[in-house]
Amino acid sequence: MQAPVQIHIFFCFLFSVTFVQCQECLREGITYENITPVEKASYDDGETVKLNCMTGYFGFYKLKCNKGQWQTFIARSCSKKKCGHPGETPNGYFKLIEGKDYVYGATVEYTCKKGYEMASRNNRRHCRIKGWDNSIPVCEEVRCPVIHTDGTVTALGNTVEGAYGDVIHFQCVSSNKSLYGNNIIHCMENGNWSGPVPQCIGRGSLNTTTSVQHEDGLCEGSHRTTAPVRSPHQLLEEWRDSNRANIVDGDDFMIGILAKSAHWPLSIMAS
């Protein structure tokens, strides 16, 4: 009789162990997204567990093990944390370059409007756990260098703090001199003036209507000048070098300006 009793007891024990195991809930049975893994591999029947969201997400779940099945009795879906609006910057704008909304993981990039330049070291902001990182970038007005003249030229305009779009007008102090160069320049978006400061040159030193100045300093008719004077071709080359970026129509444009300011006959200029 003892053998059948022992066998019966063994099967009862085996059944009870199997039954208890069937009542457990496994970690693999939790399938919610964006949650941190639970610590234990299995939970006993009736045991509860709280599920926390991953970094950058908010919400939580509470589950209970009921006869081998997880039952959810509190469910607040894990959603990305919101950072809100990143903030406007005067004289600039921004665009979203990463993400689809102002939530955790998003990145915005700021750009300055024309005539302004980025003064901040970083022009991007990232949505982090505690909100947007970095400060709102600052756009400053583009400035051009101070205008300096040699005293023979008068500069009209904002010569000290020239900003993008500012225009400077030049004229000679003496009515006996002619302006050699551009009479108008403007401050460009790259912080440079559109041309160099012009010079004022005496009309007589450039008047070659009755005589042609040669490179050796001699005039036609063997009349030597009192001081070495540069030939028209030398002046042309110097003007071309200093105004190369502003020549729009080639030599014809340049010759026209020199002929107007220095009264050179076009027949001589074209030779």
Domains of the chain, residue spans: 19-79, 92-141, 153-269
Encoded tokens for 150: 């040699």
Q: How far apart are CA 88 and CA 138, in angstroms?
A: 10
Pick the residue with more confidence: 266 or 129?
A: 129
Which of 71, 65, 28, 33 minimizes the C-alpha distance to 47?
65
Q: How far apart are CA 111 and CA 93, in angstroms?
A: 6
Fold of the domain built from segment(s) 19-79: Complement Module; domain 1 (2.10.70)
Find the mean pLDDT for residues 148-162: 92
Confidence of residue 151 (pLDDT cuts 50, 70, 90): confident
Q: How far apart are CA 144 and CA 189, in angstroms?
A: 9
The CATH superfamily assigned to 153-269 is: Complement Module, domain 1 (2.10.70.10)
CATH code of domain 92-141: 2.10.70.10
> For 8-35, what is each residue's pLDDT tens digit?
444 444 444 444 456 899 999 999 999 9
Burial class (CB in 10 A: 0-12, 13-18, 19+), 183: middle
